[in-house]
Amino acid sequence: MSSAGEPDSRLERQVHALLRSLPARRAPEELMARVLAQLEQRAALPWWRRQVRQWPMAARLSFALLAVACLVLLSLAGRAAVPHLAHPTASMLAWGHHIQAVLNVVPRLLTALLGVLPMAWLQAFLLIGVLAYLFLFGVGAAAYRLLYQER
Amino acid sequence: MRAYQDMVFTTAARLTGRDAQAEDIAQEVFIRAYEHFEQLRTSASAGGWLKTVARNLSLNYLTRDRRRWRSFSELPGADEEQAPEPQIPVPDTHLSDIALEERRLLIEEALSRLPERQRLSLVLYHFEELPYGEIAAQLRVPLATVKSDIHRARQALLKQLQARGICADALEV
């Protein structure tokens, strides 16, 4: 299998023979019971809680029709709200304006806060934030090394 | 299901190196098999289908797991190459003296002790019989990395086993 030199080939043969001599691992006794229980649990679910591809055909068709109807209604509502823009994307543009207005408030709010709070407070908040981040990162890394990686 | 459960569990256990995850993966494999029951019932390659699904789910699990812990794994000192070798006491035994089950456990244990990427490459090559190129594609690493990982894994595995008194020469065909 390998095209490397003779020692590599010998190593490969040795390891291959060693590994292929291993019998299959025995699956846990409870595996089958777990699978059957899971299947029963899934079968007991009402259709609307299953995956969409497992829904009855009528339900899937109704859902698709409802989705199309919603899109049409949204489009019509957009046109009604912004009549001078007789375009299907009018509703999306209207939403965009609202979002932009909200986003414009955020920097103004931050600027106002920066003006009110003393600089020492801000520096302290920043320092505490950085220290908390480093502490949590360190705890997480230590926990991973000790508890998880060793398993 | 009974006919394939050991094979599916073994595939997942050797790839993930963790029995609990292997059991979860095996469960998911059989649930998927149930969903495709009509196709699989008459298929001659049901075993191959189950094995492939077990392999793919195991690799997906490991990819998700690796992504989740990548920030920690890449801390200085967590490099796989730098990992200290496990200290294994050397027993005064030989292959012929070790019971078959004990030998199997030793090999499985040595396999699970390999760094993850090395173990994956080794298992995909020797058990799943994938060519180097496909392993590289599955693990999304360069071809040369796969080759060197497999070479290192073989050396590390034999070293560990020789330390435990298992002589690979005796098995060579």
What percentage of chain A has pLDDT greater than the value 70? 85
Model confidence at B6: pLDDT above 90: yes
Contact B69 A148 (CB under 8 A): yes
The shortest C-alpha distance from A64 to chain B (Å) reads 24
Tokens coding A37: 């229980």
The shortest C-alpha distance from A50 to chain B (Å) reads 13
Residue A87: which residues within 8 A CB-CB, separation 6 or more?
A: A79, A93
pLDDT at B93: 47
pLDDT at A91: 66
Average of per-residue pLDDT values in chain A: 82
pLDDT at B68: 63
Select the highest-mean-pLDDT range: A49-58, A70-79, B30-39, B48-57. B48-57
Tokens coding B168: 């690979």
The shortest C-alpha distance from B14 to chain A (Å) reads 9
Which of B9, B27, B8, B5 has its CA nearest to residue B18? Answer: B9
B113 vs B110: CA distance, rounded Å: 5
Average of per-residue pLDDT values in chain B: 80
Lowest mean pLDDT among A27-36, A47-56, B75-84, B139-148: B75-84
The reply to whether A26 touches chain B by the CB within 8 Å rule is yes
Nearest residue on chain B to A3, alpha-carbon basis: B147
Q: Which of B154, B157, B161, B173 to mutate to test the interface with A (most CBs of A within 10 A)?
A: B154
- B143 pLDDT band, cuts 50/70/90, is very high
Report the greatest alpha carbon distance in chain A. 81
**Nearest neighbour of B171 by CB, restricted to A21, A38, A39:** A21
What pTM was estimated for this model as a whole?
0.60
pLDDT digit string (tens) for B71-113? 444 444 444 444 444 444 444 445 455 577 788 888 888 888 8
Instruction: Give the mean model confidence (pLDDT) for residues A108-131.
Output: 86
Model confidence at A17: pLDDT above 70: yes
The reply to whether A35 touches chain B by the CB within 8 Å rule is yes
Q: H or E element: which one contains B59?
A: helix B46-73
pLDDT at A62: 92
Higher-confidence residue of B40 and A39: namely: A39
Nearest residue on chain B to A41, alpha-carbon basis: B31
Instruction: Give the mean model confidence (pLDDT) for residues B116-137.
Output: 92
A103 vs A114: CA distance, rounded Å: 18
pLDDT at B168: 59
Using CB atoms within 10 Å of the CB of residue B37, give its burial: 0 to 12 exposed, 13 to 18 middle, 19+ buried: exposed
The shortest C-alpha distance from A51 to chain B (Å) reads 12
- A18 pLDDT band, cuts 50/70/90, is confident
B153 within 8 A of B118, measured Cβ to Cβ: yes
Model confidence at A100: pLDDT above 70: yes
Half-sphere exposure of A39 (CA within 13 A, CB side): 16
What percentage of chain A has pLDDT greater than the value 90? 22
pLDDT at A95: 79
For the four alpha carbons of A15, A20, A22 and A25, in that order, the dihedral sign comes to positive
**Nearest neighbour of B5 by CB, restricted to A10, A27, A145:** A27
pLDDT digit string (tens) for B8-53? 999 999 999 888 999 999 999 999 998 888 777 777 788 899 999 9
State ipTM.
Answer: 0.71
Whose structure tokens read 């002589």? B167
Chain-centroid distance of CA B12 in Å reads 8
Work out the number of other CB atoms within 10 angstroms of the CB of residue A78. 19
pLDDT digit string (tens) for B60-73? 998 887 766 554 44
Tell me, what DSSP letter sits at residue A25? P
pLDDT at B18: 87
B168 vs B173: CA distance, rounded Å: 10
Give DSSP secondary structure letters for A41-94. Answer: HHHHS-GGGS-GGGS-HHHHHHHHHHHHHHHHHHHHHHHHHSTT--STTHHHHH
B116 within 8 A of B152, measured Cβ to Cβ: no
- A11 pLDDT band, cuts 50/70/90, is confident
Chain A residues in contact with B7 (beta carbon < 8 A): 24
C-alpha to C-alpha distances, A128 to A110, A119, A121, A125, B54, nearest whole angstrom: 19, 14, 10, 5, 46
A68 within 8 A of A60, measured Cβ to Cβ: no
Residue A1: which residues within 8 A CB-CB, separation 6 or more?
A: A12, A16, B125
Tokens coding A145: 């090394």
Tokens coding A61: 């068709």
B57 vs B35: CA distance, rounded Å: 16
